[in-house]
Structure 1
Amino acid sequence: MLRINLRPWREQQRSAALRRLRFQVVGGVFVGLCVVLVMDQLARQRAQQQAVANSSRQVAIERLDAQLAELESARQTLESVRDQTDALAALHADRALMTPLFAGLERSLPEGVQVDELKLEGARLHITGVAVSGTVLAQFMRDFGLSGVVLDLELKWMKSLPAGDKFLLLARTSAARS
């Protein structure tokens, strides 16, 4: 019988299998490294594109903020002009009310009555002053009530002082402020 020694053949088969395994491991590592490098390159490109998009959006936002600031300034200017217009309209309306009020007050103010304060709150008129006597104050109230400028003239209080009688008169104006 012939004896065949298979040991060298098995050694060759093992070394060939080992070489294939090493080649596959090195090839797998190389392919994995290539995949990682490609993925890294794609991620960097995506990040760069995102940075460019973000910077263009930031420029657009800054431009819109500048426009918004201009609009806010214009709105504040418009609000200021509206306030001034309203104030002028109120002054114009008050002029129509105050002229007859002061004219009626001047016509009916007798000698011996001094008006210290004249306050108009809405349609209510408050007159504070000093009269030398109650009769002079009564004459003033009668004449001022007949002037047609005020309605429901009433004496709220009167205090006697050494200089005269201090008083507070309340009335409604015949034409209310608008």
Structure 2
Amino acid sequence: MILINLLPHREAARKRRRENFYAALGASALVGLLLAGIAYVWFEMQISAQTSRNQYLQSAITKLDAEIREISTLQAEIAALRARQQAVEDLQADRNMPVYLLNELVKQMPDGVYLTNMKQENQIVTMRGMAQSNERVSELLRNLGNNSPWLDKADLIEITAATVTLSPRDVRRVANFTVRVALKRPTDVNKPAAAAPGAKPAAAAVKG
């Protein structure tokens, strides 16, 4: 006996495949949406965490900037205090410098040399006087430039010939001179002196 199926089974099969396809498509869409939602939430969490870290870093940078400005202000104040301290120390040291100067002049002044005028500007002392001869002036320059720890850089500015009348019968020739010398501070005197070649005395030119 032969059985013949007259029902539209092909249409039913196509309908089932279409329904299965739509069901699979819907499930894929749901899975995709779920994955997209999970990814969105994860990225939002990462962005939020990074934003929090950026805000923390920004606040830390702002705090460091304030500390740096404070340190710069403190350094400027320290530098000003050191400058004031150095100025006070220099004033205290300079207070005794006239004593050192006069003491050294007494030691280094050769016989036959007399000072008539002396002026100090900062560390430079200008002296005017008379000497029995040019050789006495050269000796004075050597003593001031080489033999004194407090005096340095002795320079002959001018020397001229003159006469001095001691009595009606005693008229002597003398040399009027102007000498400039540098006066050292105590802090400079206490420093170790560097070895320097011996300086030659300046030649004295006599003006008529």
TM norm. shorter chain > 0.5: yes
The structure carrying a bigger helix percent of its residues is 1
Which residue of 2 is the match for residue 99 of structure 1?
A: 98
User: 1:99 is matched by which residue type in structure 2?
Assistant: P
User: 2:179 is matched by which residue type in structure 1?
Assistant: F
Q: Distance in 2 between matches of 1:14 and 1:154?
A: 119
Any stretches of 5+ residues in structure 2 without a counterpart?
162-175, 192-208
Q: CA deviation at 1:45?
A: 2.8
Which residue of 2 is the match for residue 167 of structure 1?
A: 179
Counterparts in 2 of 1:166 and 1:6: CA distance versus 1, 3 Å: farther
SS in 2 for 1:90: helix
Q: What's the CA shift string for 1:65-105, capped at 9, x where partnerless?
A: 22332232123212321232233223323333x03134447
Written as runs of structure 1 = structure 2, the 5 A alignment for 1:1-178 is 1-5=1-5, 8-96=8-96, 98-104=97-103, 110-111=115-116, 114-115=117-118, 120=123, 127-131=125-129, 133-135=130-132, 138=136, 150=148, 156-160=155-159, 165-169=177-181, 176-177=189-190
Any stretches of 5+ residues in structure 1 without a counterpart?
121-125
Q: Give the conservation status (yes or no) of the 8 Å contact 1:157–1:167.
A: yes
User: 1:57 is matched by which residue type in structure 2?
Assistant: L
> TM-score, normalising length from structure 2?
0.56
Q: Give the conservation status (yes or no) of the 8 Å contact 2:115–2:128.
A: no
What's the % identity of the aligned pairs?
A: 17
> TM-score, normalising length from structure 1?
0.63
SS in 2 for 1:159: strand
Q: CA deviation at 1:106?
A: 8.5
Count, aligned residues: 163
Counterparts in 2 of 1:63 and 1:78: CA distance versus 1, 3 Å: same
CA-based RMSD of the aligned residues comes to 4.2
User: 1:92 is matched by which residue type in structure 2?
Assistant: Q
